[in-house]
């Protein structure tokens, strides 16, 4: 991370903590909800099937920038399905960088060739070893591993949503993160139980076991891009929600924290690690502050 970016984030953090400000710093643009997969745990694919036009996405990026957002995510649906004429996802990343976003990340299912060297991180969903990943995401594991191997850059961070199907495959994903070319780290979430996927949710005891396993893998040197000090809050769902410093924009509509904010009662069962990590940070939790500093400087 550039020193100037670090200084911007440090100043934002100090202002937010001292004055209990609610301005956003992290924003997500949903480029489409169209997807080539239909994963068992996902409730946000192919609802409209619309690929949003370039001009609209550009306006949304500008809107987020003007609100103060400096960490931008492109998400979907499947982000690599996005195009408008000759323009591709890579053009959106370049445009975001030119606009002045300090960190630009993309979330993808990894089933398309990966050519985004300008992104700071490509969060690539891998949900276990071949067997458990494919049980959730269809027969895609081998294609994804080949795409990672052939990627244009080494900015990939595996992204695993832990649920009832893959809760025993944490070690496999940590080992893949450590040993696979072009992969820098792995980041986890717990399944967030939307009404149509409640059966995949983990109990408190299961979340405890998962966190113990992630901790063990961290001790063994696995590159985990999460904060250990947030684990107790994630296990007990005692972190503050929603995250006021995060916003998402989809088809012109801005929501605080996530699209899921409109699902009644869901925030109380939120499994997104970034929500715990950011809300605890901006409440001034000293352990989280120190760990976040170390972790972000290591992986971005
Ligand atoms: C909605 S997908 C969109 C990007 C891309 N299609 C992908 O699969 O990475 C973004 C991330 O959300 C995760 N996800 C989907 N539903 C979830 C849920 N209910 N709880 C936690 N994570 C979920 C996916 O596993 C994926 O890592
Ligand atoms: S690939 Fe991503 S958007 Fe598509 S169904 Fe799976 S989790 Fe949902
Ligand atoms: S806190 Fe609520 S809005 Fe935010 S990600 Fe979790 S469930 Fe969604």
pLDDT of residue 2: 86
The answer to whether the CB of 199 falls within 8 A of the CB of 180 is no
pLDDT tens by residue, 24-37: 999 999 999 999 99
Give yes or no for residue 151 having a pLDDT over 90: yes
Tell me the pLDDT tens digit for each residue of 52-83.
999 999 999 999 999 999 999 999 999 999 99
CATH of the domain at 126: 3.20.20.70
**Does residue 300 carry a pLDDT above 90?**
no
Ligand nearest to the backbone CA of 243 = 3
CA 94 to ligand 1 centroid distance, Å:
24
Predicted local distance difference test score (pLDDT) of residue 205: 98
Note whether residue 230 is domain-resident.
yes
Atom number of ligand 3 nearest to Cα 266: 7
CA of 79 to the centre of ligand 2 (A): 10
Mutating to test ligand 2, I would choose from 37, 38, 108, 111 the residue with most ligand atoms within 8 A of its C-beta, which is: 37
Which residues surround ligand 2 with Cβ inside 6 Å? Answer: 35, 37-39, 42, 44-45, 76-78, 109
Tokens 């989280």 map to which residue? 288
Please report the pLDDT score of residue 181 as a whole number. Answer: 97
Give the per-residue pLDDT at 297.
85
Domain that holds residue 190: 22-299
Angle between helices 130-137 and 141-149 (to 10 degrees): 110
- Cis omega (within 30 of 0) on the bond before 181? no
Q: What is the pLDDT of residue 114?
A: 98
5 belongs to a structural domain = no
pLDDT at 299 over 90: no
Q: Please state, in angstroms and rounded to a whole number, the distance separating the CA atoms of residues 39 and 270.
A: 19
From the list 273, 109, 261, 75, the residue with the least C-alpha distance to 190 is: 273
In a domain, 2, yes or no: no
Ligand 1 in reach of 244 Cβ (< 6 A): no
Does residue 3 sit within a domain? Answer: no
The predicted-structure confidence for 100-146, as pLDDT tens digits, reads as follows 999 999 999 999 999 999 999 999 999 999 999 999 999 999 999 99
Based on the number of CB atoms within 10 Å of its own CB, is 208 exposed (0-12), middle (13-18) or buried (19 or more)? Answer: middle
Over residues 221-237, mean pLDDT:
98
Q: Flag whether 277 is in a domain.
A: yes
For ligand 2, atom 6, name the residue with the nearest CA.
39
Residue of 78, 80, 82, 144 whose CA lies nearest to 111: 144
Weakest-pLDDT range from 1-15, 89-103, 125-139, 211-225: 1-15
∠ CA 114-121-78 to the nearest 5 degrees? 50
Residue 13 lies in a domain: no
* Ligand sitting nearest the alpha carbon of 197: 1
Judge whether residue 242 has pLDDT over 80: yes
Nearest ligand to the CA atom of 78: 1
Nearest CA to ligand 3 atom 7: 267
Does the Cβ of 270 fall within 6 Å of ligand 3? Answer: yes
DSSP 8-state assignment for residue 224: B
Does residue 17 lie within any of the structural domains? no
Number of domains in the chain: 1
- The whole-model pTM stands at 0.97
The answer to whether position 12 is within a domain reads no
């Amino acid at each position: 991370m550039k020193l100037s970016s670090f200084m911007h984030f440090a100043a934002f953090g100090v202002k937010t903590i001292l004055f209990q400000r609610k301005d956003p710093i992290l924003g997500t643009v949903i480029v489409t909800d169209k997807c080539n997969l239909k994963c068992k745990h996902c409730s946000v694919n192919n609802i409209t099937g619309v690929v949003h036009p370039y001009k609209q996405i550009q306006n949304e990026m500008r809107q987020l920038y003007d609100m103060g957002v400096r960490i931008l995510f492109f998400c979907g649906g499947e982000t690599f399905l996005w195009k408008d004429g000759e323009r591709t996802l890579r053009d959106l990343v370049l445009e975001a960088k030119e606009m002045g976003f300090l960190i630009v990340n993309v979330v993808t299912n990894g089933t398309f060739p990966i050519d985004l060297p300008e992104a700071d991180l490509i969060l690539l969903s891998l949900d276990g070893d071949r067997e458990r990943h494919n049980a959730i995401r269809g027969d895609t594991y081998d294609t994804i591993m080949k795409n990672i191997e052939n990627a244009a850059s080494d900015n990939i961070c595996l992204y695993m949503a832990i649920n009832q199907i893959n809760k025993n495959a944490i070690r496999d994903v940590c080992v893949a993160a450590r040993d696979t070319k072009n992969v820098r780290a792995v980041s986890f979430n717990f399944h967030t139980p939307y009404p149509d996927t409640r059966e995949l949710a983990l109990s408190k005891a299961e979340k405890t076991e998962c966190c113990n396993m992630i901790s063990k893998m961290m001790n063994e040197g696995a590159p985990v891009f999460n904060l250990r000090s947030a684990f107790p809050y994630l296990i007990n769902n005692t972190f503050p929600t929603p995250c006021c410093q995060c916003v998402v924009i989809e088809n012109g509509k801005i929501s605080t924290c996530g699209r899921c904010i409109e699902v009644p009662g869901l925030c109380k069962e939120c499994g997104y690690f970034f929500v715990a990590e950011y809300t605890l940070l901006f409440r001034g939790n000293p352990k989280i502050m120190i760990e976040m500093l170390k972790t972000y400087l290591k992986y971005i």
